[in-house]
Structure formats: C-alpha cells, structure tokens
Amino acid sequence: MTDKRTRLIETAIRLFHERGFWDTPTALIAREAGVANGTLFNYFPSKAALVEAVYLSLKQSWATHLQAAAPSSGSVHDRLAGYWTGAIDWARAHPDRYALLGQLKLSDEIGDGARAHGIDMFGATLELIGEAMAHGVIHPIEPDLLKTLAEAQISAAIEFLGKHPDASVAETARTSYEIFWRGIAVALTGD
C-alpha cells in the first residue's frame, strides 16, 4: 500500500469510529490525512470504495493477528483455541477498530465482493475447519452458521471482558472456547 493510501485508510478508520461513516465527509478525511480531496479520489473512486477499503483493512489486521496467534500444528482443538484467543486479544487491543468492524459488517455499504474477500482472508482457519469436518473431528455444520456462532460467542466473551475488567482474559477465552468446542466436537477428546 502506498503511504498516502495507508494514511487515508487510517484517518478514515479514526474518523469513522469517532463520527460514524455516514457522517464523515471525504473532504474531512482528506484534510485530516494531509492530502487534497481530489487525491483521495485518485485512490478510492467513491466514498463507498473507501468504506470497503477500511473494512478490508480491518479484516486483514484481524486475520493476520489470528494467524500469528494460532499454532501451526497440533490438535484441531488447540489450533482453533489459538484462533479464538487471538480474536479476543485483537479486539481487546483494538477496541475502536473492533467496534467499527462490527458496524461495517452490518452496513449495506459493504458489497458482496468485499465480504467474500474478507472471508477469504481467514482461509487457514476455514481450511482447518473443513479438514476437521472431513475427518469427523467436528460435526458437519454449514460453514456460515458455524462462522456466525463462533463470532457471536467471541463477541460475548469480549463484551463480558469489557464489563468485567478484573476478569481473567485467559480464563474467559478458555472457558468461552471450551463451551463452543463442546457444541461442535464429535468426541470431546480435545482432538
């Protein structure tokens, strides 16, 4: 990514979180990023394109963090636990970005192509889940349902930690994951 494009996306992330993406004019984003308004449109042909770029930037940041957090080998249980904990850690380290990502996921501004690309960024996780289903480690669950259930339970753990600052992050992540695992595992052997 070019420096100006990165600066525009980072500025948009900050302003979209502060003001909402509907109430943030592109002129303000350009000014705050230190570029001419026309320059913004050299990188993003429309505000909708900028909103999608912000969405994809946030998804990529989260996906990269998950990949780094999860072990590359070991049982399915342990590898998925790494992704789970990584998701919670990223959201806690970047609460503004997590909140904005939640808003953008619900927005009509994000097209099907951007949504599909955002899902593809989590390819390693999805591949592991597919292999686990094929080998009978976890129940064959429709992938979008499984993703929705996981996101909801991760979100619940994050919300709990926000309301209970003295709670153990590690214990909350472990407990919330084990509850999820018991729902998807064919046998509760940890494999």
Q: Is the pLDDT of residue 191 over 80?
A: no
Q: Which residues on neighbouring strands pair with residue 15, listed in sequence order?
A: none
> Mean of the pLDDT values across residues 160-171?
95
Q: pLDDT per residue over 29-39, tens digit each?
A: 999 999 998 99
Neighbours of 140 (CB within 10 A): 11
Domain ranges for the chain: 1-45, 55-184
- Which pTM does this prediction carry? 0.88
What CATH number labels 55-184?
A: 1.10.357.10
The span from the CA of 174 to the CA of 166, in Å, is: 16
* CB burial string 70-100: b at 16+ within 10 A, e below: beeeeebbebbbbbbbbbbbbbeebeebbeb
CATH of the domain spanning 1-45, picked from 1.10.3720.10, 1.10.240.10, 1.10.10.60, 1.10.10.10: 1.10.10.60
Q: pLDDT per residue over 118-162, tens digit each?
A: 988 988 888 899 999 999 999 999 988 998 999 999 999 999 999
For helices 26-33 and 3-19, give the axis angle rounded to 10 degrees.
Answer: 130
Alpha helices in 70-168 (DSSP H): 76-93, 95-105, 112-120, 123-134, 143-163
> Mean of the pLDDT values across residues 16-25?
92
Name the percent of the chain lying above pLDDT 70: 97
Neighbours of 6 (CB within 10 A): 13
Q: Is the pLDDT of residue 188 over 80?
A: no
How sure is the predictor about 183, in pLDDT bands with cuts at 50, 70 and 90?
Answer: very high
Q: pLDDT per residue over 39-74, tens digit each?
A: 999 999 999 999 999 999 999 999 999 889 989 899
> Mean of the pLDDT values across residues 111-120?
92
Nearest to 12 by CA among 63, 55, 75: 55
The span from the CA of 26 to the CA of 62, in Å, is: 25
Output the pLDDT for position 30.
96
Arithmetic mean of pLDDT over the chain: 92
How sure is the predictor about 1, in pLDDT bands with cuts at 50, 70 and 90?
Answer: low
Nearest to 106 by CA among 10, 22, 170: 22
Output the pLDDT for position 109.
87
What one-character DSSP code corresponds to residue 185?
B
